[in-house]
Structure formats: structure tokens, C-alpha cells
Chains A and B, each alone.
Chain A
């Protein structure tokens, strides 16, 4: 089976700084639910960044959906990113756009018609229980609501894989539950691979998952 993510001796560093991750080995299969945990500054977000091509490996190989990130061209990276759904801890919503338009973004990039984009955005906003706020702007929403919008955006184009960076980090219990439910549903019903960087794995999740733990720049697979 082709791995969705395959890292061989992956070393990551910012510029000429000391490596943050050294010689990491990781294999993630399609439809897996994966947690990457570790202390603050251990390099969890750095690994995620390399998975969506924001950081090029210093040494070793990293393949995402079969594409080698080390030698990827910018146009191919654009194409790869259209198959990914990314969720950031700081939401990264476009504040000048309405909630609805934010959710439509990946579909617009995918070249879907306005009608299709609108229908899908409304469907997802209903899922995250924010349809009544479709015309609002992100800054008019609470942090939890903004993260739910970001989750709807990440799911809008039925991505092959969702990469979520501490998606429930600053959220209230209700919003956290909505986010975990959405991620579980995406994996269960759409066959999406889910990679979540987090400090704590929720105990009430009730699903099988793979767990990578980071310490002192080394990646351990927890069995």
C-alpha cells in the first residue's frame, strides 16, 4: 500500500540553525488517524509544516501523497496543497472575507463554479453549526467559532489528508467536541487521513489511532 506520508531519515532545520528534527522515520497510511505529540518547542508544528511544503527537508526524504517535498516545484506544490486540508492553531482566516467565502476558498482554487462552492460551503457551515453566521466576518466571531470555520474550510474540498496544528488548543469544550467529531467523521465517511499535532490526546475519542511522540528532535512511534 502506498503511504500518504513517508519520511526517511528526515532532518528539518530553519535556515542554518541547528536541526529541530533529526533522522526521523515516519509512515502514515491512507485513512489513518495520527497524533503527533511532544513538549512545546519539540518540533511538532515543524514536522507539519514540512508536510504541506512550507519547510523543505534539510536532509533525508519526505514524500507526501507520493510527491517528494525536497525536489518539488512551486507549481506542483500548489497542486499538492489542493489535495490537503490544513487547520492552524491561529485559524488563518481571511478577515476581509465573509465566513462563507472563507469556507469557499479551497473550492474556488479548485475551479468549481460559484453555485457548487456556495452549496458546499453552506453544507459545511451547517455541520459546524455556524450557518446563521455565514455573512459575518471572522473578527465578529469567537475563537471557537473561528476554528470551526477553519475546520469547515479544511474539509470543503474533501481533501485526501487533513493536517491540523493544535486545532483545539485554545477552544472551549463545545467547540473542541465539534472539531473532534468533524475529524472523526471525515476519516470515517470520506476516507480522509487525519494528522493532528496536539499536546494532549483526548481520552474520549473512541477510535484507533497512530501516535508519534517527539523528544529532543527524535521521533518515536508509540505502540
Chain B
């Protein structure tokens, strides 16, 4: 019972730590996927006094994905009933060129401003419509979401590490006599500490497995599916090899680091 309690005291903070990290990674992926989707839909409309080529625009803004001319035919067709065909022809000549620019990545607010400035500086681009109001709103929302999840994770990591430190100290006090006796008989550091290292390695595996199981099965619940589809987002699948490897690595790194620090500190005392 005591042993189970001891294990739980490490497994729990480790689980919370890994859970929050995996949650942050997941949020990053979701936001990135959503940004890619938005980038596909997002475009800047420019009005130019002369025809533009992709090379010309590229010389001013580097992250350009495509440049498409917006046909003025639709506008002119709407005017056909009210204006004579001669005037339509004149209007056709006088009308500036409209283009839609698509970007490779979802731009930040600063990038939007810079792009606008660069395009207007060319002289032959007379107007740039970046739809910045809508864009900025979405961009700020994403940033807030990312930052909140990051701050949340950092706090959780700090609290978890603190709890683990405390538990390691308790473990060490429990094993102090045994370690002292082994020292008197000339046991090397690794032998004295082997029990503690074994415990944290086992607990790291258990915590990683629990987090893995959660993130594999959680997106499969109907409620979660309904919720995510209502938001038009998809939860990326938990990669058994890659994600488990990262989580196990982090978990081992943190726990082994803490146990080493606590043992060294205790030895000095």
C-alpha cells in the first residue's frame, strides 16, 4: 500500500506534466492545421495601373504563393444594361487591373502592414486590400490561444517538477539509512542509488503509457468528435512511435535529472 502510494506520488505529477506538454503540442498542431486552412482561403486584393507578373510581386514580397488576375468581366456584364456598348469598351480600357495574391503562410499583423507598404511603394499598385480587420481578429485569437496554452503548460510543468522534487526527497529519506550503510561498505554511487533510479524509470514508463492511452482514446469519444467537428477542426492522431518517444524522453529526462540532483544534494549535506 505504501509502495503504491509512493509510486502514485511520482506518477501523478509526471502524468500531469506529460499531459500538459502533449496538450500544448496538440494545440500547436491544431492551430498550425487551421492556419494552413486559413492561408488557403486568405488572399490580398491589389489594384494595379498596369499588368503584374508573379516575378514583379515576388521581388517585393517573398512569401507569395500565387498571383491571379481577377476578371473585370463580371462587373462590366452587370453594367451592360445601363451603359452603352461604346462606353463599356471605353470603361474596359480605363479600368485598372485587379489581382488576388495568395501567400505561403498565414501572415502576422506586422507582416500584413509590411506587405501593404511594399506593394504601394511600387508606384503602379494603387490600392491594396488586405482585409486586415478580419485577419487581425483571427490572428490575435490564435496567438492568444497558443500563448494561453503555453503559459498553462509552463505553470503545470513547474508545479509538477516541484511535486516531484518533494517526492524524491521523501524517497531519499526513506532510503537514507540503507544508502548510508552501503556507503560504509564502499558501494559506488550508482549502486546506492539504483533503487531510486529504477523507481523513476518505471514510473516514467507508466506515466507515458497513461498519457498515450488518454490521447489515443480521447478523440474517439462521440462528444469530442461532435465538439471538434462543430469547430471545424480535426485532432491530429497520436503517433505511437514518435509521440510516445518524445513523451518518454521528456519524462525520463526530467525524472532522472531530479533524482540525481536530490541524491547529490543529500550526499553533500
User: Interface of A with B (CB < 8 Å)?
Assistant: 52, 54, 75, 77-82, 84, 86, 92-97, 105-106, 108-109
Closest A-chain residue to B188, C-beta based?
A78
Residues A109 and B182 in contact in the complex (CB < 8 Å), given A78-B187, A78-B188: yes
Number of residue pairs spanning A and B whose beta carbons lie under 8 angstroms apart: 42
A80 touches B178 (CB 8 A): no
Q: What's the nearest-Cβ distance from chain B to residue A69, in Å?
A: 14
Contacts of B178 in A (CB 8 A): 94, 96-97
Most chain A beta carbons < 10 A, residue from B178, B183, B184 = B184
B184 touches A109 (CB 8 A): no
**Does any Cβ of A come within 8 Å of B257's Cβ?**
no
B181 touches A52 (CB 8 A): no
Most chain A beta carbons < 10 A, residue from B181, B182, B184, B186 = B186
A54 touches B184 (CB 8 A): yes
Contacts of A78 in B (CB 8 A): 183, 186-188
Closest A-chain residue to B267, C-beta based?
A74
Closest A-chain residue to B186, C-beta based?
A81
Contacts of B186 in A (CB 8 A): 77-82, 84, 106, 109
Report the separation of the CA atoms of residues A95 and B186 in the bound assembly, to the nearest whole angstrom. Answer: 19
Report the separation of the CA atoms of residues A78 and B182 in the bound assembly, to the nearest whole angstrom. Answer: 10
B181 touches A92 (CB 8 A): yes
Closest B-chain residue to A88, C-beta based?
B184
Contacts of A95 in B (CB 8 A): 177
Closest B-chain residue to A156, C-beta based?
B185
A94 touches B181 (CB 8 A): yes
Report the separation of the CA atoms of residues A77 and B177 in the bound assembly, to the nearest whole angstrom. Answer: 19
Report the separation of the CA atoms of residues A75 and B183 in the bound assembly, to the nearest whole angstrom. Answer: 11
B181 touches A109 (CB 8 A): no
Closest B-chain residue to A93, C-beta based?
B181
Contacts of B55 in A (CB 8 A): none
Q: Which of B168-200 contact A (CB under 8 A)?
A: 177-178, 181-188, 191
A106 touches which one: B177, B185, B188 (CB < 8 A)? B185
B184 touches A52 (CB 8 A): yes
B185 touches which one: A75, A86, A97 (CB < 8 A)? A86
A92 touches B187 (CB 8 A): no
0/1 string, B187-219, CB within 8 A of A gives 1:
110010000000000000000000000000000
